Structure formats: structure tokens, C-alpha cells
Structure 1
């Protein structure tokens, strides 16, 4: 076993600019070029059980990118309006141009010794617990990439680095993946498709991995005609605003002031077991007699009220609440058979029907806040939603945002329907018994020129009906009871 592990040393690819690349120039879909998506680089954190072979992980992903997912080998220019996708004859393992890959072996460490505070090992089935978020785990090397690092040669895309960057940390009993990619390339469901296809190549064969949609396919083709009267820039949909002129300065000044006045926060991983989800739903439903609340409604309400309890803004401050919906299911006839293999952004933000103040959120019951969510979802018919999508696409130059210019915003993004935990990378295991490779936890963080504040992501199931959430919360003593049943999770290192 030890000799096999030692052969993992030096498992990495380095990127070398290749001026002889030939490209297919593919327009980036309009939904991916909105400023709600465009500025951000996303980093996915993936925790796999067992010691895995980083060479096999690299080779299988490389084969997938070269043979089927060429868009993941793209280069970008500063305009961010086209993917420069290397042609098949330009991509090969010999030229090393598909993506950047690095790995690090810490085989003398177990998860408990390397990251004793990791949430997966310390979650409880009887109460909500807090754990350090992925950026605080200290198991990844190097700083997170900024968006402008992808186009240091704006007019020579062949000299720019690939859009996909993967780092692997291998411990004796666990493997961690860090996958960085510009948000305009993929959303969470698209990343699920990439991961699942990668696992299929690893475990079975490249032929069995699904092929993505054709390069340049746009499911929203035909939407966004600015000449239509309904798309007049002055007909702003309810709950939306436009960031133009003085409103840009006003919002930036308010954001900077908020940074100065709000308490220091850190990214935390919040575990809510299934027993607590059921309890919260019962509690919320007691206050609401005429409407059936879903678990997602209640989770949204709970997370919003958790944040509101720590908010230092004046009680009269308006809070604009919103959540993303997946247009793959909201507009099914547009995505049709390709919905399951569409890598790019299919999500669209939805503001709640009415904004609330900090004081209202602090005073309202769990059920009352959940009801506001349910009313908004009930209102979301296709006839209502598609015109809003079309208006936004027709007015991208107005920088539409799903909130008012005044006040604060809070976004809850739920991935609960994405079955991340149903996949495993058993083909890469170094265990002689062939066990290991199960995906145990996943998280996300993002970077941009303006930080995304107050965004909570319900990231994945915990395997037993509970959920993991990523959320920025204030530092401090969480045992004081200000957050109800949430308690700080303290772990003493071995």
C-alpha cells in the first residue's frame, strides 16, 4: 500500500502557453453575461472519502475535457463575450492545454489530524451546528484566482490560461478537490453534470459519459428583443432596479458604509439535520392555517431570520429578499431534452413580492416569513416569469438587479434538488478492497471585484435528509442564544 501511495508524488500538470492553437469562437449566452454572473470566479470544494489516486483523477478529467467537454478548455478575453474553444486538433495530452491541474500529498495525515474542525466529521443528528467554511479549512494551496487573471493577454487568447483550474489534496483517508472556474461558464447544476461525467469516466468509460449540449446552443434564443414595446427600458419589472447613472454611486457608497458598520463576518458551514428541518416545519406551519409550507420555504425563512438576528443596520432598513430559480424546470420547453446536460447558467433571480424591514424580519414568526416565500413561488407561473427574463435580456445595458437601490439584500440559493451525494469516484481508490471515493460534502465560495454579501447557499444533502449550508455569519460567542437553536461547534484537535 505504502509503495503505491509514494508513486503519487509529482502528480500535476503545468500550463504552457501555446501560440499555435486554433479556436472555434463561440458567443457566450446573454444570461451568462449579466453582471449578476459575469464578475465572479467560483471555487467548488469537494470532499471525497478515502485516499484516491490523483493521477487517475487527472487523466480521467483530461480525457473528458479533450474528447467531450472542449468548452472547459476555453480561453477568455477581457470583453467576456466569446468562448475561444480550442479545436479538437489543438487539444492533446502532449500539448497540455486542456486545463491546469495540481496536487499535494499529505499521506501522513488523516482528516482528523489535518482538519479536525471539518463539519462532515462533527455534524450531529439532533441539533443545528456551525463549522468552519471551506476557505477556512486551510487544506488548499495558493490564493483564489481573480477574474482578470484569465485574460492577461486580451488580444491573444491563445496565450491566456485555461478557464478550468483543479487542485487535489490527498490524505490517508480522504481526498479534497478544489475546482475554480469563472461563473459565466457554469452554474451549480452544470457543475453537477461535469462532476457526474467525470465520475463516469473514472469508474466506467468515456463512452458512457453524457455529451454536453452543442457549442453555442442557446435555450433562450429569441428572447431579449429590445424593439418590443413590452421590453421598453422604463417598464422595469416589479422588484427590480437598474444600476445606471447616480444609482451606481449610491449603491457603492451604501455598500462601503455597510462594510464599515456591520460586524466582521466569516464564512461558516451550517449543518441542519433532518430532525431539525422537520421540527422547524412543524413550528412554522402552526402559525399558517390556509397554506401548506414546503421544507424549502421554511429553510429560507430560518436562514433569513438567523441573519436578521445579527444585523447591525437600523431597524427601519429595507431588506430585499430573493432566490434563484432554475429555468431548466421553469421553462422546460426551451431546454427540452438538453436540460440535463446544459453546463451553462440556467438560473435566474427572483425577488420576493414585497421587501421587508430589519425590524419586521426580527419580529415575524418563522411561519410568517416562510409564507412570504410561498406566495412568491405560487406567483411564479411561466406566463409571469418568461416576460421578466425577456425584459432583463433586452436591457442588459441597464444592469438590472433583483432588488431596490436602497437598503440591503439577502439571497438564499438552494441546491437541494442536485444529487451531489449520489456519485462516487471509486475507480480512483487506492484501497486494496476497492472501497472509497464517495462524495461526502460539497461547498462553494466566490470572488469578484465587489464581494457578494449576504448570499446563503443550501449546498447539498447530508445523506440522511439534512442539509449543509454555506453562510457568512458574524464572529463571536454563539453560545449566548441569540440565534435560537444554533450553537457554535467547538472541536479540540487530537
Structure 2
């Protein structure tokens, strides 16, 4: 009886790490960035690639330069962590590869149409094709829980090969990779495929923890940092109010639909040039970037069908990469490659819905540019946001993107990942049916997301890729909302 009482009140024994693994705790940024999400970065490449060459090269690259990419994610002793093998072998592979070989061209048998053949000078919207079957295998993990099983690699690569193109699905839990981290690994991979000496490719050390310095020492200081800017930490009643109002909007428009948006660069250039000419004529030294103009044009397009008396506040959050901000040790930038999460959000001062109908694209773009300039000029504020995130259990705290009754939009951009510039020519299996001369390049990016928990995306989206002619976005909205936008006639629906 006494032994039973003793075990009841004793501290549970700590679980040791698996043998042969080096452990690194997940950072607060990893834990706060859609940690339950599994993301497949789906690339469509205009050539028939050699799967064996792809697997051999990536395996060598991970083992020699990016061992963290070959790790596992685990929940041990109440903490999420990465477990990185000291050595890789057949039983502990750096990544899991699956391959499907189709000895035919893709465009047959009624397969989903990839919208790469679209042309025209005006932006257009089209429903997202269902390409998941070509980007994930049946055995691919679909949730964070799947990745937490023993010895499941962080990376699952699925290759579907046709005579005229290749689908390449790169699947990982979002707790381990952000889009720019994936882009860093893919860029190194294509360099190795093209014949670059792997020793000349800058990699990522096993023990890199750039956000560790933002974690306050225990029991030091009594002043707690405020919640990260633009987000809200509510009490129970306000949380309930927010959730009920959000659910009512979903009930009114229950079907969430994802669409791709094609924006010709020539169109975007002309709009930006008009804005810059107007600013110059006003004697202003301010400027707007193409990303500001793109987002201002898009939000004006999708909110203009709302009533001019609708003053619902819109809280816009722009995802930003902090790798290039002087916030790390000695106020320096992050000088080495980093594949894990390194993003925060810039909060644009909220606007009523009616402003997107009444204000010009130029005025809206300036609002976004000013918010970005102010954020970038305030490294102390960025450090404060990170310090809050890294304090106590704030990384796991539920915070809200706006107050009850407001609407919100989280917009990201993968442009800096440069997926459209990746050159897979070093893995080309042969000319196949490709008529275009030149490199085996990415012609389309199609993300696939999944989670064991409901993840409403409506109102949000971002830039996926760009090439010489167009920028591609994906956006999530309710089906009825899309129909109202279509009926207003300000953008072509293909």
C-alpha cells in the first residue's frame, strides 16, 4: 500500500531520447506557426525526371549539409522536439520517397487541368484543380499525429512521372518547415542536381537555435511582455463571442472554396506605375512595391461587392520573414540557412470594409507599405513580439487575429522562395514529349494542406510563385462570397 501511495505522488520518470539521436527543442516560432498543419509543396515541372537521381542527390545533400531536414519530430517529456539521427541508413532514412511512373503524357484520360495554358492581359480566377493524388502517396502522413509516430522522417517526397512533366510533392509537418525553409532546401537540391560540388553548398548545422536568446531566464523580472502586436489575448467571454460570431459567418456561407488567381505582371506594372506617377505629381517621396499593389488590388476586388454602409473592421496580417532582420545575436541578421519556421506577422491598421470600396488602390497600397516600413524600422518591437512568444507557454496560447465582430485576413508570400526559378535539368530523364527548349523548370505550384483539426482558411491566402509573365496566388473564400465577386464583374472567372 505504501509503495502505491509513493508512486501516486512521485514525479514521473523522464523518458530518455532514442539512442543515436541528437535532440533540439522546437522553437516557440515553430509551435505557433500552424503546428498541427501538414503542408505539401507541390511542384509541376515541365520535363520527365529521373526519380532515382532525385532520391540519390537529396539523400546525399541531407546527410552532408541539412541533417535537420532528415530528422524526426517527437513529443517527449511534455516538449515538442526534433530528433536528428547521428547517422542515416536503410532503417533510418533521411527522407521517404515514393514513385509512380506513367508511361504516357499527362493531358489525357480526363485528368484535372493544370491552368498553365491560360493567357490574356487581365487577371483571372479559376477553381483549384485537385492534384493531390499526384503529389501525395497513400502512405503519406496527413497530420502532425502521423509524424509523431516512431521513426517517421520529416520529409516525404512523392514523384509522379509522365512523359511530358513531373509532379514533385514535398510533404512535411509545418512545425518543422516554413515555405522559405523549403525553398532553401530545394534550391540546394537543384544545385546539387546540376553538378555543383555539395561541399560548396552552404548548409545548416544540427544545433542551430536562433530563437533561444529570446527565451527569458526563469524567475527573472516581474514585467511580462505584451501580446504580440496585432493579436488579441481575450478572456473566456470575449473568446466565446469571437467564436460564435465566426461560426455564424460560416453558417451563412458554409462551403469554403479555394481558387487560384492569375495576375499578369504587365497588368501589375501598369497599376503600380500609375500610382507612382500620382505620388510624384503630389511631390511625395513615398513609394509602393509590387507586393503592396497586388494585395491592395486583390482586397479591393474581393470586398467591393459589400455594401457601402458595411463598416465591419478588416484586420490584415501580412506574414513576414524575420531571417533578414537585425534582431539576432549582436543585432545581426540570420547569416546561415535555416529551414525551420522564422516568420511573424505585420498587422496593418484595421480598415472598415467600406474603405476597400471607396479608397483607391494607391491609397490602400500606401497603407500596407507604411505598415511594413514601420515594422522593419522597429527591430526592438520585433524582439518584443518574439520575447512574448518565447515566454512561458505563450507559443501554445490561443490568440485571436481581431476582436469579436471583426473579420481578418492572413496573407503570405512565397515569392522569396523563388520556386519558379528552380532548375531540375540535372534530373531530367530524357526529352520525353517536351517541346520547349531550355531548363526543366517549375511551371506551377500547388500546395496541399491537411490537419486532424478543423482549419478554416477563408479570407486568407497568398502568393505561390511567379515566372517571367505572371504571379499566381491561392485564396480561400466562401462559395457564396466567390459568386458575389463574380457577379460584380471586376475580375474574369475562367
Whether the 8 Å CA contact 1:441–1:462 is kept in 2: the answer is no
Say if 2:213 is the partner of 1:257. Answer: no
Say if 2:27 is the partner of 1:29. Answer: yes
Q: 1:347 aligns with which of 339, 343, 346?
A: 343
Q: 2:148 aligns with which of 115, 135, 151?
A: 151
* Whole-angstrom CA distance in 2 between matches of 1:41 and 1:318: 31
**1:492 matched to which residue of 2?**
none
Cα distance change on mapping 1:115 and 1:477 into 2, 3 Å: farther
Q: 2:488 aligns with which of 479, 482, 488?
A: 482
* Whole-angstrom CA distance in 1 between matches of 2:276 and 2:251: 38
Question: Which SS does the other structure have where 2:429 is aligned?
Answer: coil
Farther-moved stretch of structure 1 (44-53 vs 358-367): 358-367
Greater Rg, structure 1 or structure 2?
Answer: 2
Whether the 8 Å CA contact 1:100–1:164 is kept in 2: the answer is yes
Cα distance change on mapping 1:243 and 1:460 into 2, 3 Å: farther
Whether the 8 Å CA contact 2:461–2:474 is kept in 1: the answer is yes
**1:232 matched to which residue of 2?**
224
Say if 2:104 is the partner of 1:103. Answer: no
Whether the 8 Å CA contact 2:401–2:408 is kept in 1: the answer is no
* Whole-angstrom CA distance in 2 between matches of 1:298 and 1:269: 18
1:477 CA drift (Å): 5.8
Say if 2:306 is the partner of 1:306. Answer: no
Cα distance change on mapping 1:340 and 1:275 into 2, 3 Å: farther
Cα distance change on mapping 1:340 and 1:478 into 2, 3 Å: farther
Say if 2:270 is the partner of 1:273. Answer: no
Question: Which SS does the other structure have where 1:328 is aligned?
Answer: coil
1:274 CA drift (Å): 1.2
1:279 CA drift (Å): 2.5
Whether the 8 Å CA contact 1:57–1:428 is kept in 2: the answer is yes
**1:417 matched to which residue of 2?**
416
* Whole-angstrom CA distance in 1 between matches of 2:187 and 2:123: 29
Whether the 8 Å CA contact 2:316–2:410 is kept in 1: the answer is yes
Tell me the matched-pair count: 456
Question: Which SS does the other structure have where 2:324 is aligned?
Answer: helix
Farther-moved stretch of structure 1 (166-175 vs 108-117): 108-117
Question: Which SS does the other structure have where 2:287 is aligned?
Answer: coil
Farther-moved stretch of structure 1 (304-313 vs 366-375): 304-313
Question: Which SS does the other structure have where 1:241 is aligned?
Answer: coil
- Normalized against structure 1, the TM-score is what? 0.82
Q: 1:361 aligns with which of 341, 356, 359?
A: 356
**2:390 matched to which residue of 1?**
393
Cα distance change on mapping 1:32 and 1:446 into 2, 3 Å: same
1:393 CA drift (Å): 2.4
Q: 2:326 aligns with which of 310, 320, 331?
A: 331
**1:217 matched to which residue of 2?**
208
1:481 CA drift (Å): 5.3
Say if 2:458 is the partner of 1:467. Answer: no
* Whole-angstrom CA distance in 1 between matches of 2:445 and 2:242: 32
* Whole-angstrom CA distance in 2 between matches of 1:20 and 1:296: 45
Whether the 8 Å CA contact 2:242–2:403 is kept in 1: the answer is no
Question: Which SS does the other structure have where 2:74 is aligned?
Answer: coil
1:321 CA drift (Å): 0.6
Whether the 8 Å CA contact 1:274–1:467 is kept in 2: the answer is yes
Q: Which segments of 5 or more consecutive residues in structure 1 lack a partner in the other structure?
A: 1-18, 153-158, 490-494
Farther-moved stretch of structure 1 (57-66 vs 368-377): 57-66
Question: Which SS does the other structure have where 1:42 is aligned?
Answer: strand
**2:83 matched to which residue of 1?**
84
**2:443 matched to which residue of 1?**
440
Q: Which segments of 5 or more consecutive residues in structure 2 lack a partner in the other structure?
A: 1-16
Cα distance change on mapping 1:238 and 1:151 into 2, 3 Å: closer
Farther-moved stretch of structure 1 (174-183 vs 441-450): 441-450
**2:426 matched to which residue of 1?**
427
* Whole-angstrom CA distance in 2 between matches of 1:278 and 1:185: 36
Cα distance change on mapping 1:473 and 1:240 into 2, 3 Å: closer
**2:46 matched to which residue of 1?**
49
- Normalized against structure 2, the TM-score is what? 0.82
Cα distance change on mapping 1:287 and 1:180 into 2, 3 Å: same
Q: 1:197 aligns with which of 166, 174, 188?
A: 188
Cα distance change on mapping 1:176 and 1:314 into 2, 3 Å: farther
1:460 CA drift (Å): 1.5
Q: 2:179 aligns with which of 167, 171, 188?
A: 188
Q: 2:117 aligns with which of 116, 121, 138?
A: 121
Farther-moved stretch of structure 1 (359-368 vs 317-326): 359-368
Cα distance change on mapping 1:191 and 1:360 into 2, 3 Å: same
Question: Which SS does the other structure have where 1:127 is aligned?
Answer: coil
**2:233 matched to which residue of 1?**
242
* Whole-angstrom CA distance in 2 between matches of 1:209 and 1:77: 32
* Whole-angstrom CA distance in 2 between matches of 1:135 and 1:231: 50
Whether the 8 Å CA contact 2:45–2:441 is kept in 1: the answer is yes
Whether the 8 Å CA contact 2:123–2:492 is kept in 1: the answer is yes
Question: Which SS does the other structure have where 2:189 is aligned?
Answer: helix
RMSD, aligned α-carbons: 3.2
* Whole-angstrom CA distance in 2 between matches of 1:197 and 1:134: 29
Whether the 8 Å CA contact 2:40–2:449 is kept in 1: the answer is yes
Question: Which SS does the other structure have where 1:320 is aligned?
Answer: strand
